[in-house]
Chain A
Amino acid sequence: MDVWMDAIGYILQPGSLLTVIFGVVAGMVIGALPGMTSTMGVAIFIPFTFGMDPRSGLLLLAAIYCSSVFGGSIAAILVNTPGTPAGAATVLDGFELTKQGKSGLAIGMAAIASFVGGIVSALVLSTVAPVLARWALRFGPPEYFALSVFGMSVVSALVAKYPIKGFIAGVFGLLVATVGMDPVYGWPRFTFDTAGLLAGFALIPVLIGLFAASQAFDLMSRKDKGTMVETEVAGQIIPSWSELKRLSGNIVRSAFIGTGVGIIPGVGGDPAAFIAYNEAVRWSKHPEKFGTGILDGVAAPEASNNGVTGGSLVPLLTLGIPGNAVSAVFLGGLLIHGLRPGPALFTQSGDIVRALFAGLFLINILMLVVGLSSARLAPKLLRIPTSVLAPLILILSIVGSYAINKAVFDVGVMLAFGVIGYLFKVLRIPPAPAVLAIILEPIMEHGWRQSMIMLHGNWVDVLARPIVAVFLLLALITAVTPFLRRRREDVEKSEGAAV
């Protein structure tokens, strides 16, 4: 208990508090700006931690990580553009709530759900991390394959209204993801002798293109050039107690989903948000309301994507395996301070680990306070006419895409996918399935091909594994559901017309 008191005492020192507050605010701003990502934010601030105490340095990086994930929801809710990839699922209901004049409630819900997700993941990280890490090690390539297939089945929840077009968008995304070097033997696929395509399409420019640039083009096409967002956050910020009580199950479930997904190395916050969203749809008594602007659709992905933050640190700290891209950069922050992740970290640098664990609780509390208190300030940043905001989003998308690899080629990729995303909007094709597919395809293909190598080409043995069978069965049920639902709706419509 004494060692924990030391950790708590450290984080409550004025210097540590200021560091954390700065990290929380900076992270929120970074996350809220389209084109800026949690990965970029953490990477940029690593050099700033050189001269800091390792505990303070890690607290700063953790604060930026956690709050930038929440910050991504602000842009997703107010301007239909996820600030970070993990905010992509929040767009689905968040922006619809803004159109209904409930942006305050959406942001407040996002802050509370993010807080719960962050706290749950911090609890898991600090108390059961070693146990969870041992369980996650059971996941071999077959399980990764099955998990990614299940993740793809989430597409069906996203395309309820246009299932066939949505699935085409999803398969298009799968095909796009095969561009580049084959993941096992390194054979170049669809590179057309272009050096820039050898590594495939960089994910961030694709995301910026499909969500931000396409939104800019969509805004430009509108005849109404008024302000895109409300001039003030409408309505109450804090949901009612009855609403919170109703959503508590959804939030806690999503927090644990995010924490669990975050623990699995290689799978990040983006699929976690969509998986939690899909589960919220499946468990809901009114699944048809998802996508129309309900708090459930904001609470689930936000609790989940912030649940990933602590979860992704489990394999990193206990095994040295990053849970996602951000935790991979976080690994650099550890190494800079001479800290080697692994079981020895807990014994040789226990004070630093405990300060980090305790700090995560503080970070999430401050994120909630800052998020709720500054919610009404957020639109002030966005009180710009559409005729100015759309070009602003475009130029920010250009610079943001360039900043990833300092390559004009990436900006070209962003522009191309921006045009594709705009045409998707015109043709009423949801872009989210393509995005999800691009993220999951490498995991799916790598998992399958490694499984075939491992099991000597015997695919039956892959399917016979219990975890694989469960995930694939869930995937089948989830994928078929919207077609059955649509069939039922068509029958009801024709019966109604007959009456």
Chain B
Amino acid sequence: MAVANYVFALFSVLLGSAAWLYSASYPSDASMFPRLFGGLLVGLGCVLAIDTFLRRSIVDQEPDPRVRLQGSLANVWLPIGLTVVYLALLESVGFVLLTPVFFALILWTQRVRPWMTGIGISVATTLALFIVFEIALDVPLPEGPLQWVLTF
């Protein structure tokens, strides 16, 4: 955990410094709080690094986050990547057409087998969400090329 703490401390210092420098161009009133928080981030990052060094024997007893991150490429980061693609295509393809495909792929990354089970769950979920949000709650969802069909 010590390494993770040092990395997080570095991130805190960099983020705080960036906020401090970037907000320098704002009028003094507008920059006051961002600079205060940026300075606090830099300070706390340094404190974390020093504290980790001084309490290293205690910190090293905590679980290593690298263990949790191992093997998460397919389970976590692939779904995140798929979600980014989903968001990029949502408005053009539409909720009804895109969501079953997206959801089925996500279920596949989570090892839901056989294929038909995943497809069945994804279609049913899409339908349920459409009924609840679009019809029952009147929240318009992206329609895409089905615009004329869904608004008929």
Contacts and interface: CB of A to CB of B under 8 A. Distances in A.
Interface of A: 44, 47, 164-165, 167-168, 171-172, 174-175, 178, 182, 184-185, 187, 189-190, 217, 220-221, 223, 225, 385, 387-388, 390-392, 394-396, 398-399, 402-403, 406, 408, 411-412, 415, 418-419, 422, 426-429, 441, 445, 448-449, 490, 493
A407 to B, nearest CB: 10
Contact of B110 (A167, A168, A225, A418): A225
A189 B26 contact: yes
B68 A426 contact: yes
**Which of B1, B76, B137, B141 has most A Cβ within 10 Å?**
B76
Given A387-B107, A399-B129, A408 B91 contact: yes
A411 B95 CA distance: 13
B111 A225 contact: yes
B58 A175 contact: no
A175 B44 contact: no
B149 interface: no
Pairs of residues from A and B, 9 with the lowest C-beta to C-beta distance, nearest first: A187-B30, A387-B110, A182-B30, A391-B106, A175-B37, A403-B139, A426-B65, A221-B72, A171-B40
A445 B30 CA distance: 10
Given A221-B68, A391-B103, A403-B139, 12 more contacts: A167-B44, A175-B34, A187-B30, A395-B99, A395-B102, A396-B129, A403-B137, A408-B90, A408-B91, A415-B84, A449-B32, A490-B58
A164 B1 CA distance: 14
Given A175-B37, A184-B29, A220-B76, A428 B1 contact: yes
Contacts of A167: 44
A172 B15 contact: yes
30 contacts: A44-B137, A164-B51, A168-B8, A168-B48, A171-B44, A190-B19, A190-B22, A190-B23, A190-B34, A217-B76, A220-B72, A220-B79, A220-B109, A221-B72, A221-B76, A223-B71, A225-B111, A385-B112, A395-B129, A399-B133, A403-B133, A403-B137, A406-B140, A408-B142, A411-B90, A415-B83, A415-B84, A426-B68, A428-B62, A429-B8
Given A167-B44, A399-B141, A428-B1, A391 B83 contact: no
Contacts of A441: 33
Contacts of B32: 449
Interface of B: 1, 4-5, 8, 12, 15-16, 19, 22-23, 26-27, 29-34, 37-38, 40-41, 44-45, 47-48, 51, 55, 58, 62-63, 65, 68-69, 71-72, 75-76, 79-80, 83-84, 86-87, 90-91, 99, 102-103, 106-107, 109-112, 121, 125, 129, 133, 137-142
Contacts of B91: 408
Nearest to A33: B132
Given A187-B27, A395-B129, A490-B58, A174 B48 contact: no
Contact of A165 (B40, B48, B139): B48
Nearest to B69: A426
A447 to B, nearest CB: 11
Q: Most A CB atoms within 10 A — which of B26, B31, B34, B51?
A: B34
Contacts of B109: 220
A449 B29 contact: yes
A171 B65 CA distance: 22
B30 A220 contact: no
A388 B110 contact: yes
Contacts, number: 147
Contact of B87 (A175, A221, A403, A415): A415
Given A44-B137, A178-B34, A390-B110, A187 B26 contact: yes
Contacts of A395: 99, 102-103, 106, 125, 129
A230 B46 CA distance: 43
A490 to B, nearest CB: 7
Contacts of A399: 129, 133, 141
Contacts of B38: 175
Contacts of A403: 133, 137, 139
Given A220-B110, A408-B87, A391 B26 contact: no
B80 A419 contact: yes
A399 B121 CA distance: 17
Contacts of B34: 175, 178, 189-190
Contacts of A388: 107, 110, 112, 121
A185 B83 contact: no
A398 B83 contact: yes
B41 A175 contact: yes
A221 B75 contact: yes
B110 A428 contact: no
A394 B4 CA distance: 27
